[in-house]
Structure 1
């Protein structure tokens, strides 16, 4: 499986990321989160979605010819998620599938196109390897862990609310195609600088709230903390940064 470059950021925690497009991803959120708001992906016919099954330590459901992992019953601290189950590709990590465990590391295969709500929340993750298929990281997917640095590849387009909140992230670099970053997505970290591309069309409130962030870079322009507070903390930003 191809991997992009390893990024090592203080405090020597590594976050691997690779991704591709998710134009055809579909998913039935009602199976995992009765409180989740309706999504455009929820177009599966009930007859195409199986009831819960298991394979080794992984619980899953089948959507047509695709698999979504919905639960983990093992006790390993470091895991490799299978690329296939029963001959079908694993394309999503479901709602709270690995939440509230003691995981310190996880490898996600390139077949996975979306990591859904709270999928890895409340673990001790210090490292994650993301396969080259990922495009969407949903709300609170990696909240309350111990990741130290994040490199978001060019093909990722959406990062949900609280996605990386309350980690130990000191630096984050976004890819060239990121379109949307949700509210509080990187709040409660140790950020001191960020690089944000001009592709951003929507930023939620307090994306970098409760961090020691001093500057953000957009193209060749450096933005002060005051500018960040004005543009990020009080309202969603549409388009490019306006400058300090």
Structure 2
């Protein structure tokens, strides 16, 4: 096993054990967008499942919005290459977006999550794995602070509807560079996101802001990530 894959396996296992994300023989859904993060996640889970004999039974799910064209064929070829079971779900949201008359990212995200929950319920499953990683967690801290006036972010395992569903984040300990290097090693190429609103959203602004800080001081990335678990309550009102 190459060093990059070994490191990925170690961090995946760390998240699974530390937060109780998955058990052996578990059935669950993996949300896939076609981007580098979700392709890394589904490939890694598949590799880990085969090599560690976890006997997981997971289904990769792509939710296809109706307001832009996406290269579904490339995504399907990826799934077929690695013998990953998959499902494409159509999301009819174009009319809602046109009526909204503003950036629809929140609406789209909410509708996508709703579809994941509904589909999981149909399959009698209660876990959905998503590919959020350290940078996403850091961005969400600032997003919620700047735009919602609260301090909160993604959890490694998050329950919804009193434990009816759980969103799990197996890449919780992964940073962007590790994901890029893992994909490079396995020759995994991300599929371009053609969404016309992607550059306008608030998360993208926060991402660009943080990226400049990361370049100035590499410690900032890890310090934000660590800081969310090192709250000094006596210095807070």
TM-score normalised by structure 1 residue count: 0.27
Q: Judging by fraction of residues, say which structure has more strand.
A: 1
Higher relative contact order (CA 8 A, sep 6+): 2
TM-score normalised by structure 2 residue count: 0.27
Q: Judging by fraction of residues, say which structure has more helix.
A: 2
